[in-house]
């Protein structure tokens, strides 16, 4: 099974559902539709309405983040996994570099993963090195720390997906070479097998994915799908990624 996950970030109003309608229309008639899943993570303001509209359709709706406490608290503007589940979210991103840069610690991320899983949300756990870490050849060291400090064997690996997003690639148009990405993905799966005992959750790639370079990525069989940023805001660009992957 492959995953095509769109992270809208701070984008979208109610009428932006037209983008999802067009993606869903393509998805429903695509001959390869049973080989992959489409998940879109709009901002909090749209999760409930989009979830209702796509309740009986193929696209799943997720959240871009969740708070580190399970249910209710006095934290202003916080949204808990329990609240997300109750408005129809099925997935949540955790650990995106945007949130790490704003102060998310390993302890906070572990709580987010724990409580999201407890509320039957599937977690897309994001990891990735920055430009300096890559230059100093510390990519694998950084990724191992990010994985082992947050994920635990007791977590349900069937509800965990890992997204490798090199920070230096996000929004820059720069991507790892095929050999680099293959090596890194194999290493991530090796660490995940050591955490979860012999089997690895799905591992996705994210960072400047588009309809042109996805053909490079599809040759790397270890990659189980993609976390897509800017291109997911356009139904045409998002569909092109899927089309070209299966071409």
Active site residues: 96, 165
**36-41/60-63 β-pairing:** parallel
- Which DSSP state fits 162? E
The three-state secondary structure class of 31 is coil
Contacts 24+ apart (CB under 8 A), 176-183: 176/207, 178/216, 178/217, 178/219, 178/220, 181/205, 181/217, 181/220, 181/223, 182/220, 182/222
Dihedral (Cα; 220, 150, 39, 51), 10-degree rounding: 170
In angstroms, the first-to-last Cα distance of the chain is 16
Question: What's the CA gap between 171 and 168, in Å, rounded?
Answer: 8
Residue with tokens 């230059």: 135
Q: Which residues contact 144 (CB under 8 A, 6 or more apart)?
A: 191
Rounded to the nearest 5°, which phi and psi values hold at 157? -65, -20
Rounded to the nearest 5°, which phi and psi values hold at 58? -80, -30
């Amino acid at each position: 099974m492959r995953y095509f996950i769109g992270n809208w970030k701070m984008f979208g109003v109610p009428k932006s559902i037209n983008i999802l309608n067009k993606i869903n229309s393509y998805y429903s008639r695509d001959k390869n539709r049973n080989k992959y899943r489409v998940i879109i993570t709009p901002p909090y303001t749209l999760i409930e309405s989009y979830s209702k509209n796509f309740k009986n359709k193929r696209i799943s709706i997720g959240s871009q983040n969740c708070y580190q406490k399970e249910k209710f608290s006095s934290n202003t503007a916080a949204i808990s996994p329990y609240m997300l589940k109750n408005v129809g979210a099925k997935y949540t991103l955790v650990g995106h570099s945007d949130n790490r840069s704003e102060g998310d610690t390993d302890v906070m991320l572990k709580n987010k993963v724990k409580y999201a899983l407890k509320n039957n949300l599937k977690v897309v756990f994001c990891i990735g090195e920055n430009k300096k870490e890559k230059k100093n050849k510390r990519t694998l060291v950084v990724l191992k720390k990010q994985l082992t400090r947050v994920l635990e064997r007791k977590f349900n690996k069937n509800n965990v997906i890992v997204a490798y997003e090199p920070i230096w690639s996000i929004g820059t148009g720069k991507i790892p070479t095929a050999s680099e990405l293959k090596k890194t993905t194999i290493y991530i799966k090796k660490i995940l097998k050591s955490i979860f005992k012999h089997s690895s959750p799905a591992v996705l790639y994210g960072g400047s994915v588009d309809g042109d370079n996805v053909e490079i990525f599809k040759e790397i069989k270890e990659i189980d799908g993609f976390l897509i940023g800017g291109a997911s805001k356009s139904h045409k660009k998002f569909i092109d990624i899927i089309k070209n992957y299966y071409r």
